[in-house]
Structure 1
Amino acid sequence: MTPATSRVRRRSLAAICAAGIAGGGLLGTATIAHAAPAAVPSGPIAFSVKSFDGTTITGNYFRAPASDGRRAPTVLEGPGWGGAALTDPTAGTSTAGGVIGVAPLLANGYNVVSWNPRGFRTSSGQAQADSVLYEGRDVSAILNWVAKQPWAQLDRPGDPAVGMVGGSYGGGVQWAAAALDRRIDAIAPDISWNSLKTSLYPNRTAKSGWATSLYATAVGAGQRNNPIIDTTFQQAATSVTLSPQGVGFLGSWQRTNLAAWVHAPALILQGTVDTLFPLDEAAANYASVRRNGVPVKMVWFCGGHGVCLTNPGDTSVIERDTLAWLNRYVKRQHVSTGAGFEWVDQNGTWHSAATYRPNKVGHGGVRGAGSGTLPLVSAGGSGPYTGPGAAQLGPIAALIATKAPNAVNVPIQFTRATKVLGAPRLSVTYSGKATGNANRVLAQIVDNSTGVVLGSQLTPFPVTLDGRTHRLNIPMEYVAASASAGQSFTLQLVADSSQINTHPTGGSVKFSKVTVTLPTT
């Protein structure tokens, strides 16, 4: 096995494990092993509670080892989409998924409570996509139960000392719960979202690849969803656009920017190669929490809903930072939580700053300019990934962006060392003709030194192909990268991809002017 193959196999979708998309060889293996503390029972202890509307929520809990019988603080960890309540007290931290494991939490003196969200496994009801009105209130019911347990440390009667961790759906529920219930002392949402509308339907374009995977995962797990969820996933898998009902559900207030209501200290973890919930979702949550005057920290690691094809750097950051955050704000220990913003570039180098401030696109930014004609055909698009380790990824390979043979290529040259952090700005002048009224083009940036698409990110944008000249100026998906003097990137405008199916109908687009400006330091 080549080093590159080994790296892909190690890093392959442990994030998907966190998201609950498991089975068929898709389970990630990038974890830190921990032995179960001697005093921990060999298996989980089952529990169930009744939520506000009579829905039964089932789950498991693990007691912190304590020889003197003292009460311990508690951490709630919800599963990802299609997942189930945790059962393994020896589970280590998923370094590719960004989620701390049960074993290090127990070893550090925390009880761990995990549950099956409504509609999942043996819980009743229907999944509502982490609504503050449903899943948020389910967590409150669990907290009521925890507060009555003899092993749970309390801040005051009815108020347990409690934090939350978890990734993807288990990250989203933390925003729903903390927005509603002030008893939560700290949260560490991983690979979550600010808005399902902006993340799943960017620029009015459905993420077909992810819709297919998420729907299949739910079906395979026997999950019971609000019917509009299944309908929306099915539509997104076969169409560029969604129905008004689907868009309305994704953009509903009860699952959008819940961070604006959160007053619990928040450690926000997000993956630089996450193509389901990109970095801008974390940045939006960070800004909302910070406006509330609450302690907040953000970490961008190479992982998430995607595959890290580059050097991930020091992967111990996830566990170290999560434990420090919980120890500071749940145990109330006087420990350092480190820099307010940490991120890793495509070379595996970690960077830090006191706070997160995205680089702004300005006159001093690095620019690329060009032109060209793009045939609107499916052949020669971005993805699927066919490089080293692709066979072990299975259908997830289709969710990885790759350098496209059929593309308009715009060179980007660096004359000095710089960091690229934030949303590049794309400006195009174009004309063309094609059938249909839902034509899309995709933009991506390739690191020419590796041939890897930065963050595997694709930015879809609509084009009006009526023979007339049109102009468009949009932000692209966030990237986190470094470049040295003499290095170069390439902006590619692409007709189709396996990650986002644009359903091209033929014709072409003539781009008479293309400019991309990178947010650089």
Structure 2
Amino acid sequence: MRPSRTTLRVATSTVSAAVLATTVLAGAPATAEAATPESAPTAAVSGASPSVRFVDIKGDGGITLKANVFTPAGADGTRRYPVIVLPTSWSMPQIEYMAQAKKLAEAGYVVVGYNSRGFWQSGGEIETAGPKDVADASKVIDWALAHTPADPQKVGMGGVSYGAGICLLASAFDKRIKAVAALSGWADLIDSIYSGRTQHLQAVGFLNGTGELTGRPSPELRTILKNFLTSDLATEKDMIEWGRKRSPSTYLDKINANGAAIMLGNAWGDSVFPPNQYAHFYEKLKGPKRLEFRPGDHATAEGLGLFGLPNDTWTNTQRWFDHYVKGTDNGIDRESPVLLKSRSTGAYEGYKSWQDVASTQRKIELGDTRQIHTNWDSGANGGLIFLSSMLDQFLRLPPMASIPLLPRSLAAVWQSERYETGQRIRGTTRLHTTMTSTAESGTAVAYLYDVGPLGIGKLVTHAPYTFHDKTPHQPFGVDLDLFSTAYDVPAGHRLVVVVDTVDPLYSEYNPSGARLTFSSPASDPSYMSVPVRD
């Protein structure tokens, strides 16, 4: 089966919008690059304090990595400075971190930002955080130690998105790295873009489109993406193995053995790398660690900081480096290591672990049998990548649906009682149900809505689920983790569970005319388990 035509059209239009957003994000510091052409790779920018120069660094295999180097004002070679290495995000030029690099240099760091291989003017092909990208990171550290006043005992790495993934992977293979700040990245690549065994179509369409526009994808990457976007199940094992090699979680033992201090930051609504996989990874880290979740979508929680504007994520990133790279006793190691920002109130909450975020579970019983037809969008959906979660971040307007108007032939609907007091949802909601299909393959998408007196539902969380090779008309159990969140349900509202079969964010495998049935056997009742903080 292949993604629906509607989904493909939405994915294509979303890629165009995302490319525009990426261009705008990169545009602010573009004048700095124009003022200092890369044709003069070692020329310093006059009058700048700290100093900055553009350089060429030899990466793995001898390719050229375009980079910029910030050096603290007054550096004269008589002393060493801690060094931070910043690999760029997917499709972003080497000037991405200019504003933050300058701030770090003003705080006493040598900072090297470099364009990841295969993008823009750096050489090579896009390897998607493969072994060559990891080797490049070590080559950049080598260069910094040889050509700047960098202290070999005080090395840190940081990055956003693609850069975050490279940093985490590098920390498994380079013992010199003392601290990492991985913002809006991934720990498990397959769990990010293929969770619930479902292709995250808009997200991968965005990565594919921007990669083709700004870089040179390797033949391997082109093959993987082609098979992924056309839902070629015959190549599923190859794709999973490809992703496993590029997942920091695969090298968890090495990361723990090397002992780098790891700070992870992400957004609740990240539609490229959802937060669950970061939370799972965080719990397994053994060294110094910190986890921060905020409202927004992919890279939007730290995005304004790339313009040099005040930003909590980047402030804590510098504090993390100050303590674990520079050695400053600033107290960040004594703070609650899990920091969450509520989507509803904007207030920060600190916890001693991810497991402590929720104090109890509230179950919504999914009694009675529901049968729905497939291949039609009921009106419940997760929105569009970037746009929907940014509206939630800045205006507190998540995707909405009129619950009374959802056609029950297309959507299974259950509701809780009306809550007399507010419900502070914190953590990962889980669906447990029994499903029966008239076909051997299919897709369902589960949603949890906050519904007020007028019946308008605000999306709290959701997740897709796909199955294959099931015996038609034979029931089977389903356990699905929805995407983690922090959301406050007002007193007097209900929680409503909706399950349908089509969402523009995802591919779907429902054959024409198929039906799904959801039941709740007495021996194995169905429910939605909602984590709440009393």
Taking structure 2 as the reference length, the TM-score comes to 0.77
Deviation at 1:515, TM superposition (A): 1.5
- 1:265 partnered with 2:261: yes
Structure 2 gaps, min length 5: 1-13, 33-44, 302-308, 392-397, 521-525
Which amino acid counterpart does residue 331 of structure 1 have in structure 2? Answer: K
1:328 aligns with 2:323: yes
Please tell me whether residue 55 in structure 1 is matched to residue 97 in structure 2.
no
Q: Against the structure 1 CA distance between its residues 287 and 20, is the aligned structure 2 distance closer, same or farther, given a 3 Å change threshold?
A: farther
Which letter does structure 2 place at the counterpart of 1:448?
A: V
Q: Is the alpha carbon distance of 1:233 and 1:328 closer, same or farther for their aligned partners in structure 2, counting shifts above 3 Å?
A: same
- Structure 1 gaps of 5+ residues are 1-15, 92-100, 309-313, 394-399
Aligned to 1:443: 446
Q: Give the corresponding residue for 1:246.
A: 239
| Alignment-mate amino acid for residue 145 of structure 1 | W
Q: For 1:475-494, list aligned pairs within 5 A.
A: 475-494=481-500
Alignment of 1:109 with 2:108, yes or no, is yes
The answer to whether the 8 Å contact 2:446/2:464 transfers is yes
Give distance in 1, aligned partners of 2:343 and 2:414. Answer: 21
Residue number among 196, 221, 229 corresponding to 2:221 in the alignment:
229
In structure 2, the residue matched to 1:472 is 478
Determine the structure 2 residue equivalent to 1:167. 160
TM-superposed deviation, 1:475 = 2.8
Residue equivalent to 1:375: 373
Describe how 1:53-452 pairs up with structure 2 within 5 A.
Answer: 53-66=61-74, 71-86=80-95, 89=98, 91=99, 101-131=100-130, 133-152=131-150, 154=151, 159=152, 161-225=154-218, 227-239=219-231, 241=233, 243-252=236-245, 256-262=249-255, 263-289=259-285, 292=286, 294-305=287-298, 316-337=311-332, 338-347=335-344, 348-357=346-355, 365-370=362-367, 371-383=369-381, 385=383, 403=401, 405=406, 406-413=410-417, 414-434=419-439, 437-449=440-452, 451-452=457-458
Give the C-alpha shift of residue 279 in structure 1: 1.4
The alpha carbon displacement at 1:509 in A equals: 1.2
Distance 1:235 1:402, change over 3 A: farther
Cα shift readout 1:135-175 (whole Å, capped 9, x = no counterpart):
222111111111112432x1xxxx25222221111100111
Distance 1:118 1:386 in 2: 29
In the alignment, the residues of structure 1 paired with residue 46 and residue 459 of structure 2 have an alpha-carbon distance, to the nearest angstrom, of 46
Letter in 2 for 1:182: K
Aligned CA distance change for structure 1 residues 379 and 418 (closer, same or farther; 3 Å): closer
User: Aligned pair in 2 of structure 1 residues 487, 351: CA closer, same or farther (>3 Å)?
Assistant: farther
Q: 3-state DSSP class of the match of 2:146?
A: coil
Q: CA deviation at 1:218?
A: 0.5
How many aligned positions are there? 466
Q: Deviations over 1:364-423 (max 9, x none)?
A: 534242442221023335447489978x99xxxxxx965484421221344544432332
Contact 1:82 1:223 in 2 (8 A): no
Amino acid at match of 1:106: A
Mark the CA change 1:220 to 1:479 in structure 2 (over 3 Å): closer, same or farther: same
Q: From the superposition, tell whether residues 275 and 517 of structure 1 become closer, same or farther in structure 2 (CA, over 3 Å).
A: same
Q: Distance in 2 between matches of 1:20 and 1:286?
A: 33
Are 2:504 and 1:498 aligned? yes
Q: Would you say the 8 A contact 1:207–1:237 is kept in 2?
A: no
Distance 1:85 1:199, change over 3 A: same
Query: Structure 1 residues 29 and 403, CA, compared in 2 at 3 Å: closer, same or farther?
Result: farther
Counting aligned pairs with the same residue, the percent is 20
Whole-angstrom CA distance in 2 between matches of 1:204 and 1:277: 15
TM-score after normalising by structure 1: 0.79
Deviation at 1:442, TM superposition (A): 0.9
Corresponding position of 2:528: 516
Q: Does 1:459 align with 2:464?
A: yes
Please tell me whether the aligned partners of residues 275 and 306 of structure 1 are also in contact (alpha carbons under 8 angstroms): no
The one-letter code of the counterpart of 1:266 is I
Q: Judging changes above 3 Å, is the alpha-carbon distance between structure 1 residues 296 and 459 closer, same or farther for their aligned structure 2 residues?
A: same
Larger gyration radius, structure 1 or structure 2: 2
The residue type paired with residue 495 of structure 1 is T
Q: Distance in 2 between matches of 1:214 and 1:350?
A: 31
Amino acid at match of 1:425: R
CA distance in 1, matches of 2:201, 2:387: 23
1:186 Cα deviation from its structure 2 partner: 1.0
- What are the Cα deviations for residues 221-242 of structure 1, in whole angstroms up to 9, with x where unaligned? 13232x2322222232232845
Shift >6 Å, 4+ stretches: 28-33, 386-390
Per-residue CA distance 1:407-445 (angstroms, 9 max, x = gap): 2122134454443233222122232424xx431111121
Which of 228-237 and 375-384 deviates more?
Answer: 375-384
Q: Which moved more, 1:251-260 or 1:368-377?
A: 251-260
Worse overlay, 462-471 or 36-45? 36-45
Alignment CA distance shift 1:372-1:202 (3 Å): same
Q: Structure 1 residues 160 and 135, CA, compared in 2 at 3 Å: closer, same or farther? A: farther
Letter of the 1:45 counterpart: R
* Larger helix proportion of the pair: 2
Matched residues in 1 for 2:185 and 2:448: separation? 24
Aligned to 2:315, the other structure's residue is in SS state helix
**Gap change, CA 1:443 and 1:38, over 3 Å in 2:** farther
